Amino acid sequence: MDGARATPVDGSISGSGSDFLHLDPGEAPAGGRAAWLADRLRAAIVDGRLPPGGRLPASRALATDLGVSRGVVTEAYRRLVEEGHVAGRGRAGTVVVAVPVPVPAAVPPPGPGRTATASAGATTGPFGAETFEAFRAAPARIDLSPGLPDLAAFPRAAWLRAERAVLNRAAPADLGYGDPRGTAALRTAVAGWLARYRGIRADPDEVVIVGGVAQALALLAQVLRAEGVTAVAVEDPGSLGARQQVGGWGLATPPVAVDAEGLRVDDLSRCGAPAVMVTPAHQFPTGVVLGGERRRLLARWAASGGLVIEDDYDAEHRYDRPPVPALRSVMPERVCYAGSVSKLLAPALRLGWALVPPRYRDAFVAAKREADLGSAALPQLVLAQLIGSGELERQLRFLRRRHVRRRDAMLAAVRAHLPGAVVHGAAAGLHLLVALAGVSDTDLAAAALARGVKAQPLSWHRQRAGPPGLVLGYAANAPAALEAGVAVLGAVLRELR
């Protein structure tokens, strides 16, 4: 015998105490044993010593063998559960369910100097779309990218219940191609949801189910281009992804300035574009709400012939401020509205909706039919069941409580590790904009990624020059990971200054 330990055939992991992973609590820093143990377990999952399906020792047994309190072990396990790496399975114990993505050996630098040819009309700033996509795809130990929801919070049990209910009553006709606008059940449910949460009064026949906001923007770009529109103005700073989506269909995307009150309508008027894309409820990335006077000015601009494309980004995720109505609720004839459940449930569902003024509706539905004959019907019926049963509202309330804790953890980490930084957009949404000074935000993001922490530089979301900053998502990470990620950013920032 060479002393190597084998994994039992029932999937459990043999050994405990100091023999289990050769853990030595003497290595732990004072007051940091739980974090130390979580780090050691996470590393063992990454390198395969704790394979998916393997069981961790019972918390009481491991605590006894390590000579630490049981609270140290349960806290370490809790952190891994929140990160989605392990799960409690009742009598089966705590089981490894997912492997963290290791930091890449080579990281594509996101800094200036890397360029690529963009699609016609799609301005990408001081770097190319290829750089952005490579950076976005690069794995990281802690991913602070904006727009990532808390995927570990997906309501699996509720979804399964809804799925069983749908399949139990589904008629054969429900399994056919159906209406390219979407199932009647989901269009009705969405119309009710929008009335309750966004102040929008819409008939279900006006709702078109799409594959997320991205598809809604792509279909609108095709429809508008066929109508002779050559440019859609965008907020600056504003979502690079949305800008690329519209620009990829051959439309120019002239920038319109954003300030503390939101979109500068005077700047919009000067740019001359016949349409504009806005995120009025929680502007990306600044987090500002389009002010009342700006809404009136934008309504006046639209009434003179302009078209507003409203991406209702992050609208439901608000914490410290009252709700604001959607633009569509006050000028339905001049607003193309798009929303989705990507931030409420999961992007993988690819379920969203669009409300298009009558002038464009037939062409929009035709473009949807030509694209895919309509979105998958069964997930639509399940989502309709979730909305109708109240489960989606319960999920929203749960997420708000969870997000507030994570937002507060990130705010505390920024205060501790990024002194002097100015934070914007904390009252709502899933991210913070952290304004910095005296540093290149692209250099900071590249150096942080090399250390396993991914954060997007603000300059990527600008077309015009402006102050540097970072756009930091907090919804997808547990508080401990947020603190650790911001600590890395702080260390890198001190080195660069």
Q: What number does CATH give the domain 180-386?
A: 3.40.640.10
pLDDT per residue as tens digits for the range 420-448: 999 999 999 999 999 999 899 999 999 99
pLDDT confidence band for 351 (50 / 70 / 90): very high
pLDDT confidence band for 320 (50 / 70 / 90): confident
**The pLDDT of residue 378 is above 80:** yes
pLDDT per residue as tens digits for the range 196-232: 889 899 999 999 999 999 999 999 999 999 999 999 9
User: For position 55, what pLDDT does the model report?
Assistant: 83
User: For position 382, what pLDDT does the model report?
Assistant: 98
User: For position 99, what pLDDT does the model report?
Assistant: 65
User: For position 169, what pLDDT does the model report?
Assistant: 95
User: For position 314, what pLDDT does the model report?
Assistant: 83
- Locate the domains of the chain by residue range: 17-96, 180-386
What value does the mean pLDDT take over residues 372-378? 95
Beta strand pairing call for 307-311 and 335-340: parallel
Most confident of 17-31, 128-142, 163-177: 163-177
Q: What number does CATH give the domain 17-96?
A: 1.10.10.10
What value does the mean pLDDT take over residues 263-267? 97
- In the chain, what percentage of residues exceed pLDDT 90? 68
pLDDT confidence band for 116 (50 / 70 / 90): very low
The total of other beta-carbon atoms located within 10 Å of residue 321's CB is 11
pLDDT per residue as tens digits for the range 57-77: 888 888 887 889 999 999 999
How far, in Å, CA of 31 to CA of 14, rounded? 28
* 317-321, 337-341, 457-461, range with the lowest pLDDT: 317-321
